[in-house]
Amino acid sequence: MVRVSTGTGPGPGSAPGSGDRTQTQHDDDALGEMGYRPELKRTLGNFHTFAAGISYISILTGTFQLFYFGVSFGGPAYWWSWPMVFCGQLMVALCFCELAARYPVAGSVYNWAKKMGGPHVGWLGGWMMMTATMVTLSAVALAYQITLPQIDSWFQFVGDGSGKNDQAANAVLLGTVLILFSTLVNAFGVKLMARINSAGVFIELIAAVALI
């Protein structure tokens, strides 16, 4: 039986306290039973972990930015892709919930696939997840060309936006700058990333409620 931390003690779901190490030891023993030796520092709490997931799916990005992007290219029929994708993603989310509870280890899809289907399936799942992450981040960064130059002309690095290739060239440059910025924030440490991420999630949730 694998014991999963409920967040009440300093386990994988919360930052460890100075007084109580019992829950941490229980979690380490449970992970050891799966052949996994804990090496990452447990510096993220429950809300920080929740905020990481919320910021990745980004309510405002999907609802306002990418929806406009899809309608502009696909027309009104693009709306029907939302309920279809929602049903599929709901099934994926439910599967992830079960896998995360059964195998509460770092590596997500890679380790889950390895535990369920063996090392070859894990290798394939890890590469597919990495590819999907790169495509997702690049698509969101490029899509900011639709909104940021309209907010401030300072974001239009190439020309004034009226040229034949201004939009495409600026989208690549602006997307590169945004990806480099987010990479630097992550490189400076988990705690800094967690603070910025939590603040951004608060702002996004408030903005989503206000707009909806």
Rounded CA gap, 52 and 58, in Å? 10
Taken as a whole, the chain contains a residue count of 212
Average pLDDT over residues 129-148: 82
Is 110 in contact with 126 (CB distance < 8 Å)? Answer: yes
- Whether the pLDDT of residue 6 is over 50: the answer is no
Angle between helices 190-211 and 166-187 (to 10 degrees): 130
- Percent of the chain scored above 90 by pLDDT? 8
Residue 157: φ, ψ to 5°: -75, -30
Question: Which of 152, 203, 190 lies closest to 48 in space, CA to CA?
Answer: 190
Average pLDDT over residues 14-19: 47
Is the pLDDT higher at 109 or at 17?
109
Is 194 in contact with 43 (CB distance < 8 Å)? Answer: yes
Average pLDDT over residues 155-173: 83
Average pLDDT over residues 121-146: 85
Q: What is the pTM of this model?
A: 0.62
Question: So what's the pLDDT on residue 131?
Answer: 92
Question: So what's the pLDDT on residue 10?
Answer: 43
Question: So what's the pLDDT on residue 101?
Answer: 85
- The DSSP string of 97-127 is HHHHHH---TTTHHHHHHHHH-HHHHHHHHH
Write down the domain spans for the chain.
1-42, 45-78+127-211
pLDDT tens digits along 73-113? 888 888 898 899 899 989 998 998 898 888 887 778 888 88
- Whether the pLDDT of residue 127 is over 90: the answer is yes
pLDDT tens digits along 182-206? 888 888 878 888 888 888 888 878 8
